[in-house]
Amino acid sequence: SCISQSEQGSHKTSIQGGEDFFRGVLESMQSVYLNRNPTAKAILDLVHSVDNNSLCYDHLAFRTFGVNGYGIDSMASFFLDYGYTQRDELRFPGKKLRALWFSPPDDSHAGTGSGINGPLPRIFISELLVDQMSPKTQEIIKKYTGSSGTGNKYAALASSLGLLTWEKPLYSEFQQLASESEYAAWTLVNGHALNHVTISTHRLKTHLRDINKLNQFIEENGFRLNSEGGVLKVSPDGLLQQSSTVADSVSFQFSDGLTESVPCSYIEFAERLVLPQYKNLPETEIKEFHRRDGFEVASADKIFESTSKEQLNRV
Ligand code: OOG
Ligand code: NI
């Protein structure tokens, strides 16, 4: 099963009694995600059937509207309260987005389970730079965040229940946002829902621990991978390798009664290679902290496209 740094016994968790509650919330977020996204569910089942009980999550990701208290902080506060630490900022000027990632506290239960019950994942939260949008788009976003009242205080609750904190939009409003920012349109209809979970491939035990093998296995089983900039996204140092599926679609009933298909969530895979200074460590001694940490802006920029029309409509 999954082994983490905390098993060395050097640190005690900072969330203690709250850990079961915290994991319960993550489990609810995951269950909303699995119910809405058959591809993610099928792939998790498939990987599980080959590589039993060593499935660990590298990170979970969320999207937000960076306006009036609805940005990164609205979701981050939950993770910060449960012991996470804010790490680096990533900027995406072309997409008018920014993101922060958060590292987990040492977790006492790590190694006792898989998935959400394994080592706590990193958290990646992005936000749309709303003030850089056109007046029309800004007006729509402010209309819905405004209709939410103090919903920004309950982002994590909304995510775990699978509810929007704002009213459902008109289809024309969704289309206006989509014409300017597919990220904005996605966030309007998916709200705080989990955008993706990421399987940590190097922590698998079979041949699937090689991300290229896993990608091949996923495609052989009939699932489509996001091909933007090539299927495999590799950081300049070569040590962070990522790939993702094309998002599922879900039928969404807009407030004007129109029911249309909208992009939902996807699943990602990440392989973190051992840092050069630890390359001589025996395989059995390698822990997560010996590996490449963090995220990579150029790769992330392409992974965002997993929910784009271009990827969804590809044949
Ligand atoms: C996030 C895309 C970036 C990563 O791991 O770099 C990302 C998103 O689609 O919201 O997941
Ligand atoms: Ni990701």
| Interface ipTM | 0.99
Distance 295 CA to ligand 2 centre (A): 8
Give pLDDT, residue 55.
Answer: 95
Residue with tokens 């309260």: 81
pLDDT higher than 50, residue 309? yes
Our mutation pick for probing the ligand 1 site, out of 196, 228, 311, counting the most ligand atoms within 8 A of Cβ, is 196
Ligand nearest to the CA of 187: 1
pLDDT higher than 60, residue 12? no
Query: Ligand 1, closest atom to CA 299?
Result: 6
Query: Ligand 1, closest atom to CA 244?
Result: 11
Ligand 1: residue whose CA is nearest its atom 9:
304
pLDDT higher than 90, residue 41? yes
Query: Ligand 1, closest atom to CA 306?
Result: 9
Ligand nearest to the CA of 99: 1
Query: Ligand 1, closest atom to CA 304?
Result: 9
pLDDT higher than 80, residue 39? yes
DSSP 95-148: GTEEEEEEEPPP-TTTTSSSBTTSSPPEEEEEEE-GGGS-HHHHHHHHHHHHHT
pLDDT higher than 70, residue 6? no
Distance 174 CA to ligand 2 centre (A): 24
Question: What value does the mean pLDDT take over residues 110-117?
Answer: 80
Q: Which domains does the chain have, with CATH numbers?
A: 5-312 (3.10.180.50)
Ligand nearest to the CA of 295: 1
Ligand 1: residue whose CA is nearest its atom 8:
304
Distance 152 CA to ligand 2 centre (A): 23
Quote the tokens at residue 154: 């309950």
Taking Cα atoms as reference points, which of 300, 162, 176, 190 lies closest to residue 244? 300
Q: Which protein residues are within 6 Å of ligand 1, measured from CB?
A: 61, 63, 124, 126, 195, 242, 268, 295, 299-300, 303-304, 306
Of 6-10, 228-232, 257-261, the range with the lowest mean pLDDT is 6-10
User: Phi and psi of 85, rounded to 5°?
Assistant: -115, 130
Question: What value does the mean pLDDT take over residues 183-204?
Answer: 98
Give pLDDT, residue 2.
Answer: 54
Distance 298 CA to ligand 2 centre (A): 12
Whole-number average pLDDT of the chain = 94
Ligand 1: residue whose CA is nearest its atom 4:
300
Distance 123 CA to ligand 2 centre (A): 9
Ligand 1: residue whose CA is nearest its atom 3:
300
Encoded amino acid at 276, one letter: P
Distance 59 CA to ligand 1 centre (A): 10
DSSP bridge partners of 267:
197
Choose between 1 and 198: higher pLDDT.
198
Q: What radius of gyration, in Å, describes the C-alpha atoms of the chain?
A: 19
Distance 303 CA to ligand 1 centre (A): 5
Distance 282 CA to ligand 1 centre (A): 32
User: Residue 267: pLDDT band by 50, 70, 90 thresholds?
Assistant: very high
115 Rama class: left (phi>0) / alpha (psi -120 to 50) / beta: left
